[in-house]
């Protein structure tokens, strides 16, 4: 049986799995077993065949164990990487280890087993689009350096506190799919990313009511769309990219943020000169 692997069993990962996993076994992996179990139960009650397990995406051994579990179930036809931590959840070191290194390493490992005709999708973030431009050399390093070398790159070691490590990690995610698309293509598979804005999930609910609530609510109010997105809207885009109609799409990142980035650069959200 063909297999969809979902890493990060939250709302977005589940929504995408529903769209792309017809007649497949869905393996849901999360840092917490109860979160994976809950997601698996929801999908199983909707008619999907599921399994649930744990994985720490910053631990190569754990990811390799997940790969073995997935390939034992069948041919891996889809990887949905929806795991990550935000600045409100974790310190700088953890953000870089999980969002930057973890994603790159996950793509390396699954890139060795993805089946012909398969497709991977990374859920990144609009935050990567708010990071100032990097040099061509820095872009190339983030796209192609071995995952184990990423945290020692000068551009990574230079990041400070605030949002910069998160923005850099998400920029790396966007660049990483370009480098990995070449390798996945050699196996007849594709790799892409989606960079959502504020999507209505439990995390977004916390952020919209937390210490930075005013910042996020203003971001939504000043965006062209004027509101947050939903997991199903992200999943609809993912289904297009990962399905047969997206067969010519690989190595790309798709921004779905209600126009927040547009407003950040050219509208009322544009930072004012100091």
Residues identified as active-site: 166, 170
Contacts of 174 (CB under 8 A, 6+ apart): 124, 128, 193, 195, 253
Alpha-carbon torsion (229, 234, 235, 236), positive or negative: positive
Measured between alpha carbons, how far is 80 from 78 in angstroms, rounded to an integer?
A: 7
42: three-class secondary structure by DSSP:
helix
Structure tokens given for 171: 């920029």
DSSP codes joined into one string, 159-218: --STTHHHHHHHHHHHHHHHHHHHHHHTTT-EEEEEEE-SB-SHHHHHHHTSTTHHHHHH
């Amino acid at each position: 049986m063909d297999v969809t692997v979902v890493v990060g069993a939250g709302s977005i990962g589940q929504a995408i799995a529903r769209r792309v996993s017809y007649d497949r076994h869905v393996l849901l992996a999360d840092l917490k077993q109860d979160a994976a179990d809950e997601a698996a139960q929801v999908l199983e009650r909707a008619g999907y065949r599921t399994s649930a397990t744990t994985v720490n995406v910053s631990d190569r051994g754990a990811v390799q164990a997940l790969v073995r579990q997935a390939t034992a179930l069948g041919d891996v036809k889809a990887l949905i990487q929806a795991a990550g931590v935000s600045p409100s959840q974790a310190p700088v070191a953890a953000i870089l280890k999980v969002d930057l290194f973890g994603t790159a390493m996950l793509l390396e490992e699954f890139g060795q087993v993805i089946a012909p005709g398969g497709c991977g999708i990374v859920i990144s973030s609009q935050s990567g689009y708010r990071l100032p431009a990097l040099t061509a050399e820095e872009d190339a390093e983030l796209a192609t350096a071995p995952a184990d070398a990423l945290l020692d790159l000068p551009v990574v070691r230079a990041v400070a506190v605030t949002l910069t490590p998160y923005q850099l990690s998400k920029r790396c995610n966007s660049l990483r799919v370009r480098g990995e698309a070449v390798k996945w293509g050699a196996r007849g598979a594709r790799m892409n990313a989606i960079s959502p804005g504020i999507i209505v999930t439990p995390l977004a609910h916390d952020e919209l009511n937390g210490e930075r609530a005013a910042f996020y609510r203003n971001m939504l109010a000043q965006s062209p769309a004027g509101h947050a997105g939903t997991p199903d809207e992200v999943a609809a885009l993912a289904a297009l990219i990962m399905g047969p109609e997206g067969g010519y799409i690989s190595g790309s990142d798709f921004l779905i943020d209600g126009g927040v980035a547009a407003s950040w650069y050219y509208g009322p959200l544009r930072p004012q000169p100091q």
